[in-house]
Structure 1
Amino acid sequence: MKDISLQILRLSFIIAFFLGNTSLSWSQSTNAAIEGNIFTSEGKAVVGITVRIDGTNLITSTNETGYFRFERVPSGEAKIVITAVGLKQISRVVTVGSSPIPPVEIKLTQSWNEIQEVLVNGQQNSYKVDIPSTSLRLNTPLLEIPQNIQVISSSMLSDQQVLSMDDGVIRNVSGATRLEHWGVMYTRVNMRGSRASSFRNGMDITGTWGPLNEDMSFVDRIEVVKGPAGFMMSNAEPSGIYNIVTKKPTGQDFNGSANLTLGSYDLYRASLDLDGKLDKTGKLFYRLNVMGTKSNSFRDFEFNQRAIVSPVITYKFNDATSLTFEYTYQRAKMSNVGSAYIFSTEGYGTYDRSLTLLEPAIEPTVINDHSAFAFLNHKISDNWKLTAQLGYFKYNMEGSSGWVNDVRSNGEIDRYVSIWDAESENRFGQVFLNGTVKTGIVQHKILTGIDLGSKSYIADWSQAFNLDDEDHVFNANSPVYNNFPDGVVPTFDRSVSLSIRGAANLSTQSYTGIYAQDELGFFDNTFRLTLGGRYTWLKELNYLSPREAKRFTPRLGLSVSIDRHSSLYALYDQTFTPQSGLMRSGETPKPITGNNMEIGVKKEWFEGKLRSTLSAYKILKNNTLTTDPDNSGTEGFVIDVGQSETKGIEFDAQGEIFPGLLAVVNYAFTDSKISKASDDPNLGVDAAVGARIPGFASHEANASLNYSIQRGVLKGSGIYGGVTFLGDRDTWTWASSAAIKPLPDYYKFDSGLFWRKDRVSVNLNVYNLLDTYLYSGSSYGTYYYYQAEAGRNFRLGITYKF
């Protein structure tokens, strides 16, 4: 495969060289640029409004000064079109010739307050995002990128009242499922046959456990990149990544919102979002998000409390340079991790949803999570931009985890609780350069950069206490709590520092990566060839076992515009990422290597208001890890099953069908199997060639519709409906026996009502409308374990915008 990759790259460079240096009689662009500013009737800058050149793929949005710019506009008459939901379309025609075009100034007839209301309402009703964030480094519209990238906008999060990453957010993306082992503490997303790497603002924060999952109060959007993204982002899984983009100052004078949310299971939540300027010169901006929440659960004794503060400051030195500092603090106090597990010899869903094995007297788990960023953006010229950013993450946890020693057919369960103290520290440094240049008839979009990172994680699981004995029996059929052996509530000894207690469980990693990419555009940028690659060096220590590795991973992409609203693409990409884990033999798991081959078509419908993506892919992943089926008790060994092959088809559609009706529809077929078995002696029959990889569903479909009445006395009112289906589901992990019960198909229906007028909005969402008993899980030796989801529940949110 390596030889094939090199041959493909050599051939691609030869083709690019030939096309770029041969004189052909193609119609050429004048390489003209159009720039300008958009103002309100009072002369205030309009921020974040969409601007495009009609009849082309050129689209952008205004920055904090109302400025916009287009490069390489074709000769002739160019029609500049300004659009926003709730704003009458505005256009301006300019002539593109050999002479420079003077700046275009457009003054809207609406006042600043009217434009603010239009933009706020537009953001609430915008499901289609055209441009990725700068943290993805790609200076290209999503329609033209040769990869399946989906964006979960702030509008979707708001309409569905999503509160955190463990809260159903991934139903907005095809093929993404959540492995819910860790409750509200940590989110693991699976897609395309393996775990998706987690990123925040373009930095790879993926860890074994942690950092603490993100609350949506400080999140602007979530970008999901399907397939390898390691060529530019970091060392990532071949399945893809999800990138959390946090809220930044917009540069407006002042705006904000306050929200109160009440809900089932004693949910009380308040949040505040403030955005504005700190000085009269317009150089210093701020964004401040604060949130506090407290809730219980449908399971007895389970609770979650969280507080967040996230200030962001931006200083604009001039029109070319800005510096942003961001800090987020999350504090969580919650019930024992693992409290959601239920165990039974009979199968899944055998007990009432409210059953818990948690003891209410067990001390809570407390997490303090800090993250800090610094972003420097410098515009070197009209065609070149330099970005440098630093990231720091610090995570500390003191708590415990629950599990069982034995499960019997009469309902008796022998439980235990073990200490789980942990600490992680991550540091990142990234510098990258984006530029455009033209050679002959070829347009180049250059991306190059360096990526540095170091991660460490240490944990203590060394202390454990039995919660039951022969005289103090717990029976799930008639549970009795606070019945401890000897009447003593378990407490843990923390007199010795975590660095000593967890020394044997220390995991560290440091890496350096350099990458470069050239997107070559031919025939007025209707044919785009992407050539890129990354070279990565890394060192790591896992469970006292050191290792070094290095590898080059190439990337080849092709995107062709059929017309201004549709494109075809093809992609070949590779990945390389280390793995942590402890094998029974004492060996350290080998790094993941893999490649992705993908083709797809992207199309915009209804005059560009809705975009769909249809893709087919095949991923080969080497050194696939899974839980050792011979584990017992507290053992957490993994085994290498060899090479997996994942094939699939995915469809996504997001946007507006007609005025007032917004839709998110997706479907994924996933076929993930072992293609080559490893020589691991612990490999069981369940992990033979042809066996399915656990943790996925062959069929996944989601649909969400949101309709808002456009006129009349009910204007601003509307209804929301959503459905999720998972078919032919696999369990979490391989079983130790072939004769196990399969998971049933999964159906979940949600609905909602909303009302919006002026600056006030009210949302009522009802989840699991049919009150279906939903769960997932797996077999474990002689019994089953599973986690149930909440029955019918609601959230009522009231928001006021300043």
Structure 2
Amino acid sequence: MRISIILFCEVLLLGLMGYATAKSQPQTVVSGYITTTDEIPVEQMSVKVKGTSIGNKTDQRGFYELVLRRGGQYTIQVSGVGIMPQEKVILVSEGVSQSVNFVVSLTNQQLDEVLVSANKARYKVDTLSSSLRLDIPLLEIPQNIQVVTAKAMEDQQIISMSDGLVRNVSGALKLEHWDELYARINMRGSRASAFRNGMNVTSQWGPLDEDMSMVENIEFVKGPAGFMMSNGEPSGIYNVVTKKPTGQTKGEANITMGSFDLYRATLDLDGKLASSGKLLYRFNVMGQRKNSFRNNQFNHRYSISPAIRYLIDDQTVLTAEYNYQHARMANVGSSYTFAQDGYGSLPRDFTWSVPQLEPTVIKDHSLFLHVEHQFNDDWKLTTQAAYFNYDQVGSSFWINAYDIGGGQRSAIDDEGNIIRNVSIWDAVNESTFGQAYLNGTAYTGLVRHRIMGGIDLGTKDYAADWSQGHALDTVGGFFNIYAPHYTLPANGLPNFDRSIAIRERATVSTLTQSYVGVYVQDELGFWEDRIRLTLAGRYTYVRQSRYGTAMDGNRFTPRVGISVSIDERTAVYGLFDQTFVPQTGLLRGEDLPKPITGNNIEFGAKRNWNDGKWSSGLSVYRILKNNQLVTDRDTSGGNSNFIYSLQLGRTRTQGVEVDLKGEIVEGFNIILNYAYTDAQVSKNPYPDQVGNVVPGYATHVGNGWLSYRMQRGPLKGVGLSGGFSYQKDRKTWGWDTENEKNLPDYFRLDGGVSWQNKRVILAANVFNILNEYLYSGSPYSDFYYWQSEPPRNFRVSLGYRF
């Protein structure tokens, strides 16, 4: 491995020296600007080379760029709803660039229609957000990356990260529920790191679920994401992209009502603060009251998300954004159910919650500052900074073990008696991030170089107080799971001491991290850019502490990928990547854990169909992950609160993923995906552990969502949609305990009907149509726990665009 890294570095260094010293060759590029008659840039205008698949859309400056493979005569066509297509015939000499500008006569309303049409693609996109660093079409990236669009989330009436979002991505699963406190999403055998606008915001219990009112789309990157510069799990990441100003004057108001006393309203305003179009704004606000199918549970929230964008000049854009989320919810953990005789043995709506408990209140702030400077058509510098501040005051539920006679202790006796325990859970989480990265294109002879490099800095500081607990019940005054009573508990309610600051109370339960990541990548294009070789490397330094133990580490990790275009619409690829994630925790014997290291090998194929309206992808991968930590569930030796971890030698995760999405025929959109996953311990200091499965995945996962909207006739605007989620051979969240039981297969069916025109959107969706008892869970000590999903339920919404 050391020799391969040295060779890799030499190749990368030679490549960088080559294009730095060689004479840069001119590109065969047609570029220009599209503006209105009053010189306002037109964003998202379609620009194509007539008779070919070469095309692009204008950016926020109205700028477009088309790369041609040879000289000759071409027709450049500009199109949009409400205007006649404009065409210009040009003669291109190979290697000689041209500038071709267009001026379109558009009223404000027509401009809005053009932008609405440009965003018509409901489920498929061709490019990623700039926060993923890669200025490369999705088709050409040698990795499985899936984007969940705002339109897909709208059709499925998804309102938060925990609300069925993962059905849109092959192999993605949401583990646990945590009452929508945060989303724990697993892919390829382990947790996917959470990013927001390119920042790694993952924490042990966070981030707070993003409300979809502030989200533009969500990007899922399968496998290591070294090009993000920040350290992360080898299974992948999901990147939440928040809404930004677009420059078009528009707005949308929406009211949603549904089962279990759901009342929700959102407002999205987008427009210009200056007639010149240089100062733009975006403002999103949401308010929600939401109860549960269980008594005594609720999750009331509101959020405010303003953003401004200032076009300083033709080359520099400044964007500032603030997001505030406020949650007032029932005790975290009150959605758990416990029993000795297996999963699902109590009614779906069972609760052990106490109505008199104080709610958990969360205040979540985030602030982003983003500056993008375009030196010229080839080179761009991006810098951004972010600050996150999270404050939680609340409590959580679990059950206490007690003496059941004969020297034995149990959490549940044979009659179903338990002692409920409420522990304080106050927490603060403060994080600061800074990034700078450069994207550019250069040539050495016939070789095209797409260059990306940058630096990523971050600090995270989480502190929690779990030190205070209160038993609600007593021996002789039990709570019985088979005959529950919800009067005032026998031992009364807790009265936690919050007289001193939380950081003084949380002297042990703190998690801190600071890191530096440096990344350099060169994608070399050969044979008229049909073969693309990616050579990259990342250096990571991390220092972190947890539960009073600290460690630091650093490592260089290489990345090598190749992507080959079979034709204009088809590409095949291969990828080798590594990851490095230092870990903190306590092992028995006071040993410190080793960092996670991982190797990923992936091969795949991608294709755009029907003029790019829908796409398909196939990927095959293997991830070797060293030193993974799991919870030590042996309660002996002072581990009653599970402060110790176990460290595995190596796990091997391998599988196949298939994704299909887009508009198959006019008005008919589809999302279909399937994943086969196999994750096992392949090497371990304890030989009897080899061959054990890794917790937290399902061997077979399949999802589908189909939507059809009438395009003409008396039923024009009427839409029908439906989808399913299927999981087979589910692995629990626990790690090989004596009372292990397999989770049953999972099947959920949803559907909806809607109607819309240019202004009004009316939709009604039904979830869990078959009214299945659905849940996820795990064995725990001498009992089982699980969290159930809602029974059949509905949502109706009315939206108005203006």
| TM-score computed with the length of structure 2 as normaliser | 0.94
Structure 2 equivalent of residue 179 of structure 1: 175
**Aligned residue among 657, 664, 667 for 1:657:** 664
Superposed CA offset, 1:496-532 (max 9, x none): 2111110111211111111100000011111100000
Match status 1:497 vs 2:492: no
**1:41 touches 1:111 (CA, 8 Å); kept in 2?**
no
Q: For residue 726 of structure 1, what is the aligned residue in structure 2?
A: 727
1:434-453 to 2 correspondences below 5 Å: 434-453=439-458
Residue-by-residue CA offset, 1:301-345 (whole Å, 9 max, x unaligned):
110011111111111110101111111111111000001110011
Separation of aligned partners in 2, 1:334 and 1:557 = 46
- Once residues 192 and 143 of structure 2 are traced to their aligned partners in structure 1, the CA distance between those partners, rounded to angstroms, is 16
| Equivalent position to 1:274, from 252, 269, 289 | 269
Distance (Å, rounded) in 1 between the aligned partners of 2:476 and 2:503: 37
Structure 2 CA distance for partners of 1:512 and 1:778, relative to 1, 3 Å: same
1:206-244 deviation digits (Å, cap 9, x = unpaired): 100122111111100101111101243300110010001
> Could you tell me how far 1:3 is from its partner in structure 2?
3.5
Q: Secondary structure at the match of 2:178?
A: coil
SS at 2:443 equivalent: strand
User: Pick from 259, 265, 268: which aligns with 1:264?
Assistant: 259
Is contact 2:146–2:219 with CA below 8 Å preserved after alignment?
A: yes
Pair 1:642–1:2, CA change in 2 (3 A): same
1:776 maps to which residue?
776
Among 239, 252, 258, which residue is 1:243 paired with?
A: 239
Inter-partner Cα distance in structure 1 for 2:757 and 2:438:
44
Distance in 1 between the 2:379 and 2:26 partners? 19
Find the aligned partners of 2:251 and 2:94 in 1 and give their Cα distance.
45
User: 1:797 is matched with which residue?
Assistant: 797
- Over residues 125-173 of structure 1, what are the superposed CA-to-partner deviations in whole Å (9 max), with x where a residue is unaligned? 4211101111011011000011111111111111111101011111100
- CA distance in 2 between counterparts of 1:17 and 1:504 reads 50
* Structure 1 pair 192–54 and aligned structure 2 pair: CA distance change class (3 A): farther
**What is the CA–CA distance in structure 1 between the aligned matches of 2:266 and 2:498, rounded to whole Å?**
35
**Mapped partners of 1:585, 1:422: distance in 2:** 29
**1:701 corresponds to which residue?**
702
SS of the residue corresponding to residue 351 of structure 1 reads coil
Residue 354 of structure 2 is matched in structure 1 by 359
Change (3 A) 1:450 1:407: same
The CA deviation at 1:584 is 3.6
Counting only pairs closer than 5 Å after superposition, residues 444-593 of structure 1 correspond to structure 2 as: 444-486=449-491, 488-593=492-597
Kindly indicate whether residue 638 of structure 2 is the aligned counterpart of residue 642 of structure 1: no
Q: Residue in 2 aligned with 1:310?
A: 305
SS at structure 2 position matched to 1:426: strand
Contact 1:444–1:521 (CA under 8 A) maintained in structure 2: yes
- Deviation track 1:228-264 (CA, whole Å, cap 9, x = no partner) reads 0124330011001000111111122x21111101011
CA–CA separation in structure 1 for the residues paired with 2:254 and 2:392: 29
User: What CA deviation, in whole Å up to 9, does each residue of 1:670-690 have, x standing for no partner?
Assistant: 0000011136xxx9x5xx111
Alpha-carbon offset, residue 22 of structure 1: 12
What SS is found at the alignment partner of 2:73?
strand
Task: Find the counterpart in structure 1 of residue 288 from structure 2.
Answer: 293
* Cα distance in 1, alignment partners of residues 231 and 562 from structure 2: 23
Distance change in 2, residues 1:524/1:7 (3 Å): same
Report the residue type matching 1:186 in the other structure.
Y
Distance 2:17 2:227 in 1: 22
User: 1: distance between equivalents of 2:399 and 2:86?
Assistant: 66
Is contact 2:158–2:212 with CA below 8 Å preserved after alignment? yes
Task: Give the corresponding residue for 1:333.
Answer: 328
Deviation at 1:539, TM superposition (A): 1.5
Distance 1:707 1:86 in 2: 24
1:76 deviation in Å?
A: 1.5
Q: Is the 8 A contact 1:472 1:483 kept in 2?
A: no
Letter in 1 for 2:555: R
1:118 CA drift (Å): 5.1
After the TM superposition, which residues 148-163 of structure 1 pair with which residues of structure 2 at under 5 Å, given as runs? 148-163=144-159
Aligned pairs for 1:67-466 within 5 A: 67-71=63-67, 74-82=70-78, 92-97=88-93, 103-106=99-102, 111-117=107-113, 119-120=115-116, 123=119, 125-252=121-248, 254-405=249-400, 406-466=411-471
Counterpart-to-counterpart distance in 2, 1:85 and 1:167: 34
**Range that drifts further, 540-549 or 774-783:** 540-549
Quote the Cα distance in structure 1 between the aligned partners of 2:553 and 2:19. Answer: 37
Moved more, 224-233 or 56-65: 56-65
Once the two structures are overlaid, the 10-residue window that deviates more, 237-246 or 544-553, is 544-553
- State the Cα distance separating 1:577 from its structure 2 match: 1.3
State whether residues 41 and 112 of structure 1, in contact with CA within 8 Å, keep that contact through their aligned partners in structure 2.
no
Q: Distance in 1 between matches of 2:337 and 2:640?
A: 15
Amino acid at match of 1:751: G
Tell me how far 1:360 sits from its aligned partner.
1.0
Q: Which structure 2 segments of 5+ residues have no match?
A: 401-410
Q: Deviations over 1:41-83 (max 9, x none)?
A: 8875432234344576754321234321234653113343556
CA separation of 1:580 and 1:391: change in aligned 2, threshold 3 A: same
**Pairing partner for 2:629 from 625, 630, 639:** 625
**Cα–Cα, structure 1 residues 646 and 367, in superposed 2: closer, same or farther, change >3 Å?**
same
Deviations 1:393-429 (A, max 9, x none): 0111111010012112322222111000111111111
Say whether the 8 Å CA contact 1:136–1:233 is kept in structure 2. Answer: no
Quickly say closer, same or farther: Cα 1:571–1:212, change in 2 above 3 A.
same
Distance in 2 of aligned mates of 1:537 and 1:321: 31
Q: 1:233 to 1:49 in 2, by over 3 A?
A: farther
Aligned counterparts of 1:401 and 1:57: Cα–Cα separation in 2: 56
Secondary structure of 2:394's match?
strand
Aligned length: 789
Tell me if structure 1 keeps the 8 A contact 2:92–2:98: no
Match of 2:675 in 1: 668
For 1:440 and 1:523, the matched residues in 2 are separated by: 11
CA 1:620–1:215: 2 relative to 1, 3 Å: same
- Which secondary structure does the structure 2 equivalent of 1:504 belong to? coil
Cα shift readout 1:361-416 (whole Å, capped 9, x = no counterpart): 11110011000010011011221101010011011111101001211232222211
Letter in 2 for 1:678: P
CA contact (8 A) 1:700 1:727 kept: yes
Amino acid across the alignment from 2:551: R
Partner letter of residue 484 of structure 1? P
Indicate yes or no: 2:642 matched with 1:611: no
Shift of 1:613: 1.0
Aligned partners of 1:13, 1:99: CA distance in 2, in Å? Answer: 27
* One-letter amino acid of the counterpart of residue 304, structure 1: N
The alignment partner of 2:166 has SS state of helix
Distance across 2 between alignment mates of 1:307 and 1:639 = 40
The one-letter code sitting in structure 2 at the alignment partner of 1:462 is: S
Mapped contact 1:42–1:112 kept (Cα < 8 A): no
Measured after TM superposition, the shift of residue 719 of structure 1 is 0.3
Q: Distance in 1 between matches of 2:81 and 2:788?
A: 40
Aligned-pair Cα RMSD in Å: 2.5
Q: Structure 1 residues 90, 508: CA separation in 2 closer, same or farther (over 3 Å shift)?
A: same
Give the distance between the partners of 1:69 and 1:458, measured in 2 at CA.
48
Q: CA deviation at 1:759?
A: 0.5
Structure 1: where are the runs of 5+ without partners?
A: none
3-state SS of paired residue (1:778): strand
* Structure 1 residues 272-321: Cα deviation after superposition (integer angstroms, max 9, x where no partner): 11111112232211111111101000111110011111111111110101
Cα gap change, 1:73/1:769 in structure 2, threshold over 3 Å: closer, same or farther?
same
Change (3 A) 1:99 1:146: closer
Tell me if structure 1 keeps the 8 A contact 2:394–2:424. Answer: yes
